[in-house]
Amino acid sequence: MRLYVSFDLEHDRDLHDLLLAQAGQAASAFTIASGSEAGDMTEAWVARVRLNMTEADEVVVICGEHTDDSRRVSAELKIAQEEHKPYVLLWGRREKMCKKPQSARGVDGMYGWTSAVLERQLADGLRRTRDREMSIKRRAARTPQGT
């Protein structure tokens, strides 16, 4: 499974590096395809993020102490929502009060970051996506042509 990783570049690069190391372990069920990048949030930046997300299976948002102030993380999560990408919010720092991005929905949970929890949440996200796709296909098959 390929992941797009969203994180606060100014405060949480170390957390990104920890997830990258976790992805590199032999038993890991995922790889990091791409993630947050610096630069002005122009139309070209948005287009790059959108393209990178479409090439990933899921989005992981690493939440730290300042994630709620990160316009970039909020924009990336909004793009994931627009693209109907499954995503998971990870509590990045156990000993600190981590915060969700501003674009997070009220029902979005933030999960403790362990290998088992992350892999379970990723598997659940893929299952929900496949269930939604099958439901759409079933409805399309029942809909008469031309209506």
Helix (H, G, I), strand (E, B) or coil at 139: helix
Read off the pTM: 0.85
Ordered structural domains, the chain, with CATH: 2-142 (3.40.50.9200)
Q: What pLDDT, in 10s, does the model give residues 4-47?
A: 999 999 999 999 999 999 888 877 888 899 999 998 999 999 99
**What average pLDDT score do residues 87-99 get?**
94
